[in-house]
Structure 1
Amino acid sequence: MHHRRIGAGRGPALFLLHGFASSGAFFADMAGRLSHHYDVIMPDWPGFGASSIQAPLASIGDFAKAALCLADQLQIQRFFVLGHSMSGFVVQQLLLEHADRLHGAILYGAGLKVHAARRFESLEETLRRLESLAPAELARDTIRHWLAQPEANTDLFDACLRAAQGMTRQAAVHAVRAFAQADYTGCLDQVETPALIILGEAERSHPPSSALELQRALPHSHLAILPFSGHAAHLEQPVLFERALLAFLQAGQSLP
Structure 2
Amino acid sequence: MFYRRQGRGEALILLHGFASSSLFWTALMERFGEQFDVIAPDWPGFGATPEAAPYTSLADYAGGVIDLADKLGLERFHVIGHSMSGFVVQTLLCDHAHRLNRAVLYGAGLGVNRARRFETIAETLLRLETEGVDATIRRIVSSWFADPIRDAKAHRLCMEAGRGMSLPAAAAAIRATEHADFEGRLGQVQTRTLIISGEAERSHPPVSAMELQKALANAHLCILPFCGHAAHLEQPEWFEMIVREFLLPHRG
TM-score normalised by the chain length of structure 2: 0.98
2:5 alignment counterpart: 5
Name the amino acid aligned to 1:81. V
1:210 alignment counterpart: 208
SS, match of residue 111 in structure 2: coil
* Match of residue 67, structure 1, among 52, 65, 68: 65
Separation in structure 1 between the aligned mates of residue 90 and residue 151 of structure 2, nearest angstrom: 31
Q: How does 1:1-256 map to 2 (within 5 A)?
A: 1-7=1-7, 10-250=8-248, 253-254=249-250
What does the per-residue CA deviation read over 1:162-199, in whole Å, with 9 as the maximum and x for residues that have no partner? 01011000000000011112100000000000000001
What does the per-residue CA deviation read over 1:192-246, in whole Å, with 9 as the maximum and x for residues that have no partner? 0000000110000000010000000011000010000000000000000001000
Name the amino acid aligned to 2:20. S
What does the per-residue CA deviation read over 1:140-170, in whole Å, with 9 as the maximum and x for residues that have no partner? 0001100001133211110100010110000
Separation in structure 2 between the aligned mates of residue 166 and residue 85 of structure 1, nearest angstrom: 18
Separation in structure 2 between the aligned mates of residue 236 and residue 218 of structure 1, nearest angstrom: 27
Separation in structure 1 between the aligned mates of residue 148 and residue 119 of structure 2, nearest angstrom: 17
- Cα distance, 1:24 vs structure 2: 0.6
TM-score normalised by the chain length of structure 1: 0.97
What does the per-residue CA deviation read over 1:24-47, in whole Å, with 9 as the maximum and x for residues that have no partner? 110100110000010000000000
Name the amino acid aligned to 1:128. L
- Cα distance, 1:133 vs structure 2: 1.5
Separation in structure 1 between the aligned mates of residue 78 and residue 129 of structure 2, nearest angstrom: 37
Name the amino acid aligned to 2:114. A
Separation in structure 1 between the aligned mates of residue 235 and residue 9 of structure 2, nearest angstrom: 24
Separation in structure 2 between the aligned mates of residue 52 and residue 74 of structure 1, nearest angstrom: 23
Name the amino acid aligned to 2:103. A
Name the amino acid aligned to 1:4. R
SS, match of residue 150 in structure 1: coil
- Cα distance, 1:83 vs structure 2: 0.2
SS, match of residue 48 in structure 2: helix
SS, match of residue 156 in structure 1: helix
Separation in structure 1 between the aligned mates of residue 227 and residue 237 of structure 2, nearest angstrom: 12
Separation in structure 2 between the aligned mates of residue 189 and residue 152 of structure 1, nearest angstrom: 40
Separation in structure 1 between the aligned mates of residue 122 and residue 149 of structure 2, nearest angstrom: 27
Separation in structure 1 between the aligned mates of residue 143 and residue 83 of structure 2, nearest angstrom: 13
Separation in structure 1 between the aligned mates of residue 2 and residue 49 of structure 2, nearest angstrom: 5
- Cα distance, 1:124 vs structure 2: 1.0
Q: Which runs of 5+ in 2 are unaligned?
A: none
In terms of mean alpha carbon deviation, does 203-212 or 129-138 score higher? 129-138
